[in-house]
Structure 1
Amino acid sequence: MLADKLDGNSLPDGRYFEIPPGSHDLQVQLHVDNNDSAPVLCDAKLHYAGFVAGGHYSLKESHLGAEYRVRLHDASGKQLAATDVFYCVPG
């Protein structure tokens, strides 16, 4: 899983990046390898209005069957936001 875009702009490194304080949209990309079929590429957006200067955040992926979700957590592990629906296409 990688962050792909911040407010519509591509990120140079989707693993580590800085987000200015305030409200932002983060596009997240998942590469799903299914043992029984071709890999799948999935995209979704996550919106959070409370980013703070110097804050540390993490993205955590989970899934139940074919339903994928990415959640944004703060440094203490509190969930702050979650992705909307993932759109997937064969990759």
Structure 2
Amino acid sequence: MSIRTHKPLVQRVVRWYAKYGSDLVGEKVLNNVNLPNLQNLFRVESNNPMYDCYPIKSFEQKNYIEKTFSFKLNTQAYDYFIECDAI
């Protein structure tokens, strides 16, 4: 008898929150995410599937998200995070 394993179906999402308080302001689903690129960008190990929440803090992270996903981040007004949802 063999045990089959599978990767969970997930989607990566950028969510942004009010800088003062914790109100969710918006979200954008990211399509065609290259996980190894995200792992490198957020400095996580290659065996980490990045199911947690990761703050977008550095210029490099912000620039990558904006260019790769055609999405402008207003870091003066909001706090941004890469999150993962099961689908």
Higher helix share: 2
Q: TM-score, normalised by structure 2?
A: 0.30
Q: Which has the larger radius of gyration?
A: 2
Higher strand share: 1
- Structure number with greater CO (CA < 8 Å, separation at least 6) is 2
